[in-house]
Copies of this chain bind each other. A is one copy, B any other.
Amino acid sequence: MEIMKKISRISIFGGTGYTGVELIRLLLSHPYVEIYQITSRKDKGKRVDEVYPSFRGMLNNKFVSPEDADLENVDIVFFATPNGIAMNYADNLISNGKIVIDLAADFRIKDKGVWEKWYGMEHKSPNLIDKAVYGLPEINRDSIKKAKLIANPGCYPTAIQLALIPLLKKKLINPISIIADAKSGISGAGKNLELKLLMSEAEEDFRAYGIAGHRHLPEIEENLANICGDEVKLTFIPHLVPMIRGIHATIYVDCIENFNAEEIFESFYKEEPFVDIMPADMPPNTKSVRASNFCRISFHKEKASNRLIIFSVIDNLMKGAAGQAVQNMNIMMDWQESTGINLVPITP
């Protein structure tokens, strides 16, 4: 007979952006949590399902202003806010025994100077940077179990790191000549009023962007170096795809010795519920993971060179944001890791 799980109270800071909405979708079906409050400065006082009619019939919450948020009677606080918000709340929350999961970037980079340079602001909780655990469960599951503060990884970093770690750890590839040609659906740019995000602009268009330097680059390089023990250098070129969800990374690496990539990855991820290693030369498509928490990875080895091409796909709002955040919560709370996120991809 199953032991009744205590229902934990959830607070979502920043419930109007796309990661916040996806979090609500997931938590609504999660058996051990209650969505206790959702903040929004702009929409405070409104019913959430007035702003998002897709929640009609499933959610009774109203948005509360962050200033009016109840920080006492909650157990778990998610920040689906812009960068630079969670760092103002985390210390107080953790001191009061709450669990904090930041879906933004405040605690993703350990080097404070690097973080401040790329994010253009002073870090308000430098003392917490080292306490924060980088929430990539496939790598840091044991630390996540004991953590109180999770830095939920970025979407590109999740897709790219999962595709590189098994090889870098075994020192099978040159760590400083990696190329990640990455492509993202437009929801990755958030629910922001920018011209380039208008449908008349983005539909029927494809382009590179952020080439002078994307904030996910230092996150990838620092974490890969920490995990693998070597300096890692990437050429990282992101592109915007005329679709809503999905990240596809095409990664070019130089092999130092001969190996069977499929075997190495299969072995490395064999216990992982959300990483799927596909047969070589059968590249994954983003729709095969849409609205699910899976990452699918495949390979192509060039015959006449030492070059290996790795393909990695995720849903940027799921394994790249809200899905991974719930996965981290489940681990921290000692619930079955796939609770509430064991969703079948939507097709077609």
B-contacting residues of A (Cβ < 8 Å)? 1, 18, 21, 24-25, 28-29, 52-58, 179, 181, 183, 185-187, 191, 193-195, 197-209, 211-212, 233, 235, 237, 239, 241-246, 248, 250, 252, 273, 276, 278, 281, 283-292, 294, 296, 300, 302, 304-305, 307, 309, 311, 313, 342-348
Contacts and interface: CB of A to CB of B under 8 A. Distances in A.
A277 to B, nearest CB: 10
B239 A252 contact: no
Given A211-B281, A211-B309, A183 B239 contact: yes
A258 to B, nearest CB: 18
Contacts of A212: 281, 300
16 contacts: A21-B348, A54-B288, A54-B290, A54-B344, A56-B278, A179-B307, A183-B183, A191-B348, A193-B193, A197-B198, A198-B199, A199-B202, A199-B244, A204-B286, A207-B283, A291-B291
Given A203-B204, A207-B285, 11 more contacts: A25-B344, A54-B346, A55-B344, A191-B348, A193-B195, A199-B242, A207-B286, A211-B283, A237-B250, A241-B242, A252-B252
Q: How many copies does the complex hold?
A: 4
A194 B199 CA distance: 11
A248 B200 contact: no
B244 A203 contact: yes
A278 to B, nearest CB: 7
B235 A252 contact: yes
A348 B239 contact: no
A241 B296 CA distance: 19
Kindly name the residue among A21, A185, A211, A233 whose own CB sees the greatest number of chain B CB atoms within 10 A: A211
